[in-house]
């Protein structure tokens, strides 16, 4: 467990993320314009307001720790590769869902140590839910002010309890269908943003195959939550845990989130990757 995030620091981090969330909600409720970024993804004033609020909070709390944000602009790998510890943030994950006003967006803050997401906060302000996890330590959600400890669930017998498979609302539908075609009895749930990974951490979902592009800031905070809850976030090709800051590109490989490895879904994954 990282000794760096003390209980006092954790409380200040949660408060800081909630404060950034209040700025996001003010914009969500009052109206906003939408720009299109170079990669064709949307950007709103809320992304930038959250970015500035989170950076200021982290710089105040831990001035010595570098921060990489989706909205920072690129920081070359030559600079990042020596970082033993850094904050990795996605100020507004699920911007499409924000624009569509369905509430399925989050603010993500992760602490990375030697490439491993060791601590994460994922906050969904519309759902009034915060997921917090420290690998090897506590993992809980705060939903409407109530704290609940989290545990990923073991895969049930699909004949008696169909597996729950969660997929993106906006990306990668074809590969998701190929994967599901190889599974035993299951139910599908569509969801935006990092909430998908958090559902696996809660034991509300069994699998989240992501066979479409994402970046490290999309997944790191929720990966810490999933791992702390006993689940795994695995490279879909190697079935090794995802790592951050290993190369120039911040794109993730395709991955699968699960409570545990199991050959019954590994064969479906292989077929989906090769199909
Ligand atoms: N072509 C692409 N390249 C990299 N990341 C992509 C992408 N298309 C979508 N994403 C990532 O997928 C995230 C949304 O996933 P989902 O649709 O499952 O909610 C986006 O987060 P942002 O909203 O923070 O940009 C974005 O980072
Ligand atoms: Mg994102």
User: Tens digits of per-residue pLDDT, 60-101?
Assistant: 999 999 999 999 988 999 999 999 999 999 999 999 999 999
Task: Characterize the bridge pairing of strands 186-191 and 163-168.
Answer: parallel
My answer on whether 125 and 215 are in the same domain is: no
The answer on 204 and 95 residing in a single domain is no
The three-state secondary structure class of 266 is: helix
Q: What DSSP character marks residue 241?
A: B
pLDDT digits (tens, 9 = 90+) for 186-229: 999 999 999 999 999 999 999 999 999 999 999 999 999 999 99
Element (H, E) at 253: none
Between the alpha carbon of residue 140 and those of residues 30, 217, 218, 234, the distances in Å are 31, 21, 20, 22
Residue nearest to atom 7 of ligand 1 (CA): 213
Is the CB of residue 104 below 6 angstroms from any atom belonging to ligand 1?
no
DSSP label at residue 242: P
Structurally, how many domains does the chain consist of? 2
CA distance linking residue 44 with residue 33, whole number of Å: 6
139 and 11 co-located in one domain: yes
Domain hosting residue 64, numbered range: 7-149
| 1: in domain | no
15 and 138 assigned to the same domain: yes
Centroid of ligand 1 to alpha carbon of 22 (angstroms): 23
Residue 92 among known ligand-binding residues: yes
What 3-state DSSP class applies to 264? helix
Q: Is residue 154 part of a domain?
A: no
Domain shared by 111 and 136, yes or no: yes
Instruction: Describe the crossing of helices 263-274 and 173-181 by its angle, rounded to 10 degrees.
Output: 130
What is the pLDDT confidence band of residue 183, given thresholds at 50, 70 and 90? very high
């Amino acid at each position: 467990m990282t000794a760096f995030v003390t209980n006092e620091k954790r409380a200040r981090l949660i408060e800081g993320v909630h404060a950034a969330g209040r700025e996001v909600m003010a914009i969500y409720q009052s109206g906003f314009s939408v720009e299109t970024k170079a990669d064709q993804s949307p950007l709103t004033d809320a992304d930038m307001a959250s970015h500035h609020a989170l950076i200021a909070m982290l710089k105040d709390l831990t001035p010595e720790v570098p921060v990489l944000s989706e909205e920072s602009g690129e920081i070359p790998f030559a600079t990042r590769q020596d970082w033993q510890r850094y904050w990795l943030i996605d100020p507004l994950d699920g911007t499409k869902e924000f624009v569509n006003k369905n509430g399925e967006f989050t603010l993500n803050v992760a602490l990375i140590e030697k490439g491993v997401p060791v601590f994460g906060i994922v906050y969904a302000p519309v759902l009034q839910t915060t997921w917090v996890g420290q690998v090897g330590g506590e993992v809980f959600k705060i939903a409407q002010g109530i704290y609940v400890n989290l545990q990923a669930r073991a895969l049930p017998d699909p004949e008696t309890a169909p597996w729950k498979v969660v997929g993106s609302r906006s990306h990668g539908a074809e590969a998701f269908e190929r994967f599901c075609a190889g599974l035993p009895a299951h139910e599908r749930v569509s969801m935006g943003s990092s909430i998908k990974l958090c559902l696996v951490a809660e034991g509300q979902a069994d699998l989240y195959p992501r066979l479409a592009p994402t970046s490290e800031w999309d997944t790191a905070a929720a990966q810490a939550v999933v791992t702390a809850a006993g689940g795994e976030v695995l490279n879909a090709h190697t079935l090794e845990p995802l790592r951050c800051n290993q190369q120039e590109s911040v794109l993730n490989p395709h991955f699968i989130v699960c409570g545990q490895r199991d050959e019954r879904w590994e064969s479906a994954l292989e077929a989906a990757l090769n199909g």
